[in-house]
A and B are shown apart, each in its own frame.
Chain A
């Protein structure tokens, strides 16, 4: 019994990579489980803790900045799913509009072992980021190594936090649909939203870079059965956009939402 408890303690002891401090943030790779089972997905996240007074950037960083980058080195057959981007905040860096994060942000990633996975494994994530304040920008980077062992699921201390963050990631909502029309200097957005929500109260973020002017507020007004917003184009948009993804929160939505329009 004592041996089993010790083994369990050993296995539970490494649910995260070592923390790497670089630039004005500390990065860590944390996992919901220290053990894996073949073919069963494991929820993990890159945790970025940004120094007070500085911010890191979203998938669409805005007028300046740089989105975090992750390069995976995984054992044969292992896959890493797309990185999840929690709802950002808007800020200005020396007058340039941007989107990103302050304090602590967790970027969820699902890892899936192959059917024949066996033995202890080491996974590596090379993460790069940019932290800026009004006065300066400092990049950061870290090679994060996560070690997992095969075994029965063993929840780590990070599991509740990862589940919570993952649940709060923007996801599609039934009844939410977006249309985009080219209106010359502006884009005309038409939104259909499910009953019980108030589109005028949505906080809206453009997830697709270089389509909408980052500094422009996006506010929907009622137009019959739908809602419309007229937003200036990004000065870097060439011609008409191919697609536009919006992240929406508030206004009675069941959870943060994502809605995509494609040409």
Chain B
């Protein structure tokens, strides 16, 4: 009984401490399987700029960026510049967004141009980063430090027509990292549907 209580306390503490990622500090390493069954670690990409994109294809705010082709275009543009783009799905089994057995098929159908699509079904990566909603975006520079944590762009709406009216924060952060310049606004409030841990 005492042991159960102690481990339950640890559970609560670790959830609270989950938002341990901080702008300017090293981004935590992680390990997850992608849709091809390959194990992917952040440390595989030492020395590269890495974008993390939290995803749930059934969330209307994600559909805004995938239905319009905006997310795929960003993935293609930046992977073409040597940036590593990792899409992360932290939906638990049975919850909205979880891709089940046909994940690879579904990701391909969406036209993803990401380097890898990671299945974080137990939510470990999401909780390590404090991923709250989909899409929640993180950018890590070549030194392995977190330089951006927040929204994909400036307009909290599900409307694709707002994309061209918005400032894309991810593009801004990655462009800055590519130019070796600092990122002006490293942290913004991400918008979207809650991650379905």
Q: Which of A70-103 contact B (CB under 8 A)?
A: 93-96
Tell me the interface secondary structure of chain A in the complex.
loop
- Whether the Cβ atoms of B189 and A94 lie closer than 8 Å is no
B113 CB within 8 Å of chain A: no
**Of A136-144, A175-183, A221-229, the one with at least 4 CB within 8 A of chain B:** A136-144
Among residues of A, the one whose C-beta sits closest to the C-beta of B158 is A139
User: Is B66 engaged at the interface, CB distance under 8 Å to the other chain?
Assistant: no
Cα–Cα distance between A96 and B96 once the two chains are bound (Å): 16
Contact B189 A96 (CB under 8 A): no
* B42 is an interface residue with CB less than 8 A from chain A: no
Query: How would residues 84 to 110 of chain B score, 1 for a CB under 8 Å from any chain A CB and 0 otherwise?
Result: 000000000001100000000000000
Whether the pair B193, A132 counts as a contact (CB closer than 8 A) is yes
Bitwise interface map of A from 36 to 67 toward B, beta carbon under 8 Å scored 1, else 0: 00000000000000000000000000011010
Residue contact A64 to B158, C-beta cutoff 8 Å = no
- A126 vs chain B, min Cβ distance (A): 11
Output the least CB separation between A15 and chain B (Å): 30
Q: Is the CB of B194 within 8 A of A96?
A: yes
**B132 contacts the other chain (CB 8 A):** yes
Q: Say whether A257 faces chain B, with CB atoms less than 8 Å apart.
A: no
Q: For B71, what are the chain A residues with a Cβ–Cβ distance below 8 Å?
A: none
What A residues does B95 contact at CB under 8 A? 135
Q: Does B58 contact A (CB under 8 A)?
A: yes
Closest to B58 in A: A136
Closest chain-B Cβ to A235's Cβ sits at a distance in Å of: 7
A135 CA / B97 CA spacing, docked (Å): 10
- On whether the beta carbons of A236 and B189 are closer than 8 Å, the reply is yes
Bound-state CA distance A96–B195 (Å) is 10
Known contacts A136-B96, A139-B60; is A64 also within 8 Å of B132 by CB? Answer: yes
Distance (Å) between the CB of B12 and the closest chain A CB? 12
Which residues of A101-139 have CB atoms within 8 Å of chain B's CB atoms? 128, 130, 132, 134-139
A93 to B187, CA, bound (A): 22
Inter-subunit contact A94/B197 (CB<8 Å): yes
Residue B157 lies at the interface, judged by CB distance under 8 Å to chain A: yes
A236-B188 in contact given A137-B60, A139-B60 (Cβ < 8 Å): yes
A23 closest partner in B (C-beta) = B60
A132 to B158 alpha-carbon distance, docked (Å): 13
**Chain A positions 208-263 with a Cβ under 8 Å from a chain B Cβ:** 209-210, 235-236, 238
In Å, the complex CA distance between A238 and B157 comes to 23
Q: List 12 A-B contacts (CB under 8 A).
A: A63-B132, A64-B133, A64-B194, A66-B156, A66-B191, A93-B194, A95-B197, A96-B132, A136-B59, A136-B96, A137-B60, A137-B194
B residues contacting A by CB (< 8 A) are 19, 58-61, 95-96, 132-133, 156-159, 187-189, 191-197
Interface, chain A (partner B; CB < 8 A): 63-64, 66, 69, 93-96, 128, 130, 132, 134-139, 209-210, 235-236, 238
